[in-house]
Amino acid sequence: MKILKNQTLDQLLEQVDRQTDQQANQPEVEATVSEIIANVIKNGDKALKEYSQKFDKVELDDLRVPQADIDAAYKNADQDLIDALNLAKNNIVSYHQKEIQNGFVDAEQKGVVRGEKITPLAAVGLYVPGGTAAYPSSILMNVIPAKLAGVGKIVMVTPPQKDGIGQAVLAAAKIAGIDEIYQVGGAQAIAALAYGTESVPRVDKITGPGNIFVAVAKKQVFGQVDIDMIAGPSEIGVIADDSANPKEVAADLLSQAEHDKMARPMMVTPSEKFAEAVSDEIDRQVQTLPRKEIASASVANKGFIAVVDDLDEAFTVMNAIAPEHLEIELEDAMQYLNQIKNAGSVFLGFNASEPVGDYVAGPNHILPTGGTARFFSPLGVSDFVKRIQFVTYSRDALKNEEKAITTLARVEGLEAHARAVESRFN
């Protein structure tokens, strides 16, 4: 992996040119997706079945996956897989339970009661990619916070497969508690969730990753429904020094590089010797990976190791990058937590390898990418609820504030506002 020395912050940020990663602005994709959405709105299930035959080469009679198929997949799944999914589920539940919010009521002013109630969304849709990108762990990460929030119905869509939907995916869906599963993928699946068809129910929010067509579809239906985020390529940043093990750090960097040729593995260190050791380890380890071609392209085109003057500069660089995942491979790593301002999820210490968070630790692995960790947060319970404010006034309390209300209304040129309050007393 290339090693960068004597670089300014601006020069390092040029290495993280996310504009080239954001393919969702391609005009031809935008136009194709718009056409697909319009067709689904107009023709419903008929359009979905036609697209399945066209894109997935699968002819469907029914879009919904029978419950019997889901139960059979769970029953026949390898017990080690079931045990791993249940362990992950328990840890995700125990972590996200702590995120559950309560509303409030206050009566600090005489005659005035104010408050906020937390209300779960009625229905949520989860998109699960097909093929090798169908990750059972992501089903748990999307669904469990929604269940804890109290969402009424959770619907999953996933592209139809010639040999049927994968056993691990269906088993994970059962463990997570998904209510309905439909065999539909691509932009057409997003359109179906956003607008509803004869079979697929309309939802209030859509979560889950997908290819460029799915990403553009989510962008286009936003406003009709809520979405989690527009996910970009995976990223990992590492801050490390000579106290870390270069073999372990290299392995962690490759854990994200194998996702995608556009994935971005990054490390910042004050030690040139350590930088060279990690780079050598990456060159050695990548040769034995089953996804060698993908990981090698990621390392060569998107990866870098930056050598900086000290750890303070390392944190400055990573806070500016705002990576999806950030590992702190330093002794007594917890002491550095407050120096981290921008990151999706942080892994502190030599044993907190990033895949621990992908699978079993409990914190969510649906994270902001592309630098959006500057203002976005990981998926959580709060993403599946809405806050509703309420207020009630006694007549005396309203009279006490009548003048302030009417004054402000008339300053803003809104006479009817002022008269609405005055009508209670005139």
Q: How far is residue 78's CA from residue 229's CA, in Å, rounded to a whole number?
A: 33
Could you tell me how many helices (H) and strands (E) the chain has, helices first? Answer: 16, 14
pLDDT of residue 21: 53
Distances (CA, A) of 202 to 141, 156, 333, 390: 22, 12, 46, 28
233-277 tens-digit pLDDT: 999 999 999 999 999 999 999 999 999 999 999 999 999 999 999
Task: Evaluate whether residue 391 is within a structural domain.
Answer: no
Tell me the H-state helices in 122-166.
Answer: 136-149
| Separation between Cα atoms, residue 142 and residue 311, nearest integer Å | 35
Residues 252 and 208 in one domain: no
CA-to-CA distance for 79 and 400, rounded, in angstroms?
A: 68
Quick count: other Cβ atoms within 10 Å of Cβ 285? 16
Are the CB atoms for 127 and 214 separated by under 8 Å?
yes
Question: Does 89 share its domain with 202?
Answer: yes
pLDDT at 381 over 80: yes
Banded model confidence at residue 193, pLDDT cuts 50, 70, 90: very high
Domain end (from 374, 389, 404)? 374
77 and 224 in a single domain? The answer is yes
Report in angstroms the alpha-carbon separations of 171 from 75, 80, 84. 8, 12, 12
Interatomic CA distance for residues 289 and 293, integer angstroms = 9
Q: Which residues are annotated as a binding site for substrate?
A: 234, 256, 259, 325, 358, 412, 417
Does the residue 413 lie in any domain? no
Residues 130 and 216: their CA atoms lie apart, in Å, by 17
Active-site residue among 180, 325, 327, 354?
325
Q: Is residue 403 part of a domain?
A: no
Q: Same structural domain for residues 245 and 355?
A: yes
- pLDDT, residue 17, reads 74
Tokens of 124: 């949520």
| Structural tokens at position 270 | 């004050």
Q: Are residues 67 and 205 in the same domain?
A: yes
- What range does the domain containing 145 cover? 44-229
Q: Report the distance separating Cα 306 and Cα 304, nearest Å.
A: 6
Q: Tell me the C-alpha distance between 370 and 373, whole Å.
A: 8
Joined tokens for residue 195: 């607008």
Domain boundary among 172, 196, 229: 229
pLDDT at 326 over 70: yes
Write down the pLDDT at residue 104.
Answer: 98
Name which residue leads in pLDDT, 362 or 260. Answer: 362
Exposure on the CB side of residue 206, measured as CA atoms within 13 A:
31
Same domain, 240 and 217: no
- Indicate if 86 and 183 belong to the same structural domain: yes
Query: Biggest alpha carbon distance in the chain?
Result: 85
Same domain, 241 and 183: no
**How confident is residue 23, by pLDDT bands cut at 50, 70 and 90?**
low
Do 17 and 121 have their domain in common? Answer: no
Binned at pLDDT 50, 70 and 90, residue 153 comes out as very high
Residues 220 and 335 in one domain: no
Residue-level pLDDT at 25:
55
pLDDT at 177 over 70: yes
- Model pLDDT for residues 311-324, shown as the tens digit of each residue: 999 999 999 999 99
Give which of 179, 199, 152, 172 is closest to 40, Cα–Cα. Answer: 199
Which helix (H) or strand (E) is 6 found in, with range?
Answer: none
> Where does the pLDDT of residue 151 fall: very low under 50, low under 70, confident under 90, or very high at 90 and above?
very high
pLDDT grade, residue 19 (50/70/90)?
low
Determine the Cα–Cα distance for residues 236 and 263; give it in Å rounded to an integer: 8
Asked if 385 and 119 count as a contact pair (C-beta separation under 8 A), the reply is yes
Q: How many Cβ atoms are within 10 Å of 41's Cβ, its own excluded?
A: 16
Number of folded domains in the chain? 2
Residue written as tokens 């942080």?
Answer: 346
pLDDT attached to residue 132:
67
Confidence band for 24, pLDDT divided at 50, 70 and 90: very low
Q: Are residues 51 and 93 in the same domain?
A: yes
pLDDT at 107: 96
pLDDT the model gives residue 278: 98
Q: Tell me, what's the pLDDT at 130? A: 86
pTM across the whole model:
0.94
Q: Under 8 Å CB-to-CB from 153, ≥6 apart: which residues?
A: 122, 123, 124, 179, 180, 201, 203
CA distance 397 to 381: 36
What Å distances lie between residue 356 and 94, 152, 230, CA to CA? 16, 30, 24
Residue of 258, 324, 329, 354 with catalytic role: 324
Per-residue pLDDT, 22: 54
Q: Does the annotation mark 324 as catalytic?
A: yes
In the Cβ-directed half-sphere of 155, how many Cα atoms lie within 13 Å? Answer: 25
Spatial contact of 359 and 88, defined as CB atoms under 8 Å apart: yes
Spell out a b/e string for 128-140, using b for 16 or more CB atoms within 10 Å of the CB, else e.
bbbeeebbbbbbb
CA distance between the termini of the chain: 78
Of 374, 399, 415, the residue that ends a domain is 374
Residue numbers belonging to the annotated binding site for Zn(2+): 256, 259, 358, 417
Q: Is 96 a catalytic residue?
A: no
Binding residues for NAD(+) are: 127, 188, 211
**E strand or H helix at 14:** helix 9-14
Domain-located, residue 359: yes
The residue type found at 66 is P
Looking at the structure, tell me whether residues 271 and 242 fall in a common domain: yes
- What's the chain's Rg over C-alpha atoms? 25
